[in-house]
Amino acid sequence: MNALYKHRLFWPIASLLALIAINAIARPQFIKVTVRDGELYGALVTILKDSAPLMLVALGMTIVIATRGIDLSVGAIMAVSGAVALTIIDGSGSPDNLATVLIAVVVALLVALILGAWNGLLVTVLGIQPIVATLVLMLAGRGAALLITGGEITTVNSAPFKWMSGGYLVALPVAFLIGLLAITIMGLIERRTALGVLTEAVGINPEASRLAGVRARGIIWGAYMVSGILAGVAGLIYASRISAADANAAGVFIELYAILAVVLGGTSLNGGKFSIAGTVVGVFIIQTLDSTILFLGIPSAQSPVFFGFVVAIVVVVQSPRVRTALGSLGGRRRSRGTSGPSTDTVEVAR
């Protein structure tokens, strides 16, 4: 029991279960999953389906944050990738052709990859702070997306493209399966190879890892490229959901929610140790909270207040001061590893 309590994912999972329990008590139909024509429906399935874009973006963000970086440009990359794909489909004249859609998807993802590589270039080669380096693309990217669509909202009716967000495969929403695929690939690459450990090494101490022979530059660069391409996929799913490329609305604030999901999942913004499972739980917490707020009948415009308080509570609970206080209350609870002087030295090293 004690080991369970100490596990780093204990609090995130506990909060998620609590949220689901509250919802289930308030409205029993929340946990009901129905099968219709071999496809699953229900509030929980909707949460799984709708969480896909945030899931993809947050996964990329986890890796970037693990290298001590941050990627603010993901929303803009989403907008660009959606704009590229829909402009190609719109211009082709045969929107229902599978080959057209495939070409559009591949080109959009390539563009997203290039944008991610650009971020990585600024951070690694030019040595610019990640916040600032990605701020450039965050500002300029949305403008570029608007230029691609000609300043309009490109709408498209394409069945294969729509399938990405609305379709079902083996009874599960395709969007969720895409997210699941990304989680699996990331989990395998980061945890079944040495890459995850190397990423953490770079994040914990870039200088020491360089001296130890870790090629930090390549790892950091790769992290931004992964974040870029995942944001590209997220942009495609978003565009597919609304059947349109809305450069102004695609992925607005998603960088903030993604960072929130990563932090909720217990990954520190100081870089280093990261948890993909934590991020997944964090995304589900956010999506469930969103659905709860909607259910309570609060206008969705007012929901940021709740997120504001959630962020504040989470970061205060995670802060060294409160941890130390809690640690002294609970006697011999661990307080060394997470608190202590490490935060100060990290700031200086940055």
Partner 1 sequence: MTATMARSERRTGAGPSAFQTFLSRHGGMMPTFAAVLILLLLFVGAEAFLRGDFISGGNISALLLDNAYLMVLAVGMTFVILTGGIDLSVGSVMAFTGILGAKLLADGLPAAIAVPAMLLGGAAIGLFIGILVQYFGVQPFIASLAGLFLGRGLAFIVSLSSIRVEDTSLLWLQSERIWMGAWYITPTGIIALSTVAIAAFVLHLTRFGRTIYAIGGNEQSARLMGLKVGRAKVLAYVISGSCAGLAGLILTAYSGAGYPRNGIGTELDAIAAVVIGGTLLTGGRGYVVGSMIGVFVYGTIKSVINFMGAEQSWMQIIVGALLLLFIVVQRAIVARSEGRR
Question: Which residues form the interface with partner 1 (CB under 8 A)?
Answer: 70, 122, 126-129, 131-133, 135-147, 151, 247, 252, 256, 259-260, 263, 269-270, 299, 301-309, 311-312, 315-316, 319-322, 343-344, 347-348
Cα–Cα distance, 104 to 98 (Å, whole number): 10
Rounded to a whole number of angstroms, the minimum distance from the CB of residue 30 to partner 1 is 24
Q: Kindly tell me which of 41 and 306 has the beta carbon lying closer to partner 1.
A: 306
Contact 136, 124 (CB under 8 A): no
Rounded to a whole number of angstroms, the minimum distance from the CB of residue 68 to partner 1 is 12
Which helix (H) or strand (E) covers residue 155, if one does? strand 154-155
Which residue, among 204, 205, 312, has the nearest Cα to 268 in the 3D structure? 204
Q: Kindly tell me which of 72 and 276 has the beta carbon lying closer to partner 1.
A: 72
Rounded to a whole number of angstroms, the minimum distance from the CB of residue 173 to partner 1 is 28
Q: Kindly tell me which of 33 and 296 has the beta carbon lying closer to partner 1.
A: 296
Q: Kindly tell me which of 38 and 127 has the beta carbon lying closer to partner 1.
A: 127
Rounded to a whole number of angstroms, the minimum distance from the CB of residue 61 to partner 1 is 13
Rounded to a whole number of angstroms, the minimum distance from the CB of residue 72 to partner 1 is 9
Which residue, among 307, 226, 294, 215, has the nearest Cα to 23 in the 3D structure? 294
Contact 227, 116 (CB under 8 A): yes
Please list the alpha-helical segments (H only) found in the chain.
2-6, 10-26, 43-50, 52-66, 74-92, 98-124, 130-148, 159-166, 174-192, 195-204, 206-211, 216-242, 254-264, 276-295, 304-318, 320-329, 342-349
Q: Kindly tell me which of 218 and 308 has the beta carbon lying closer to partner 1.
A: 308
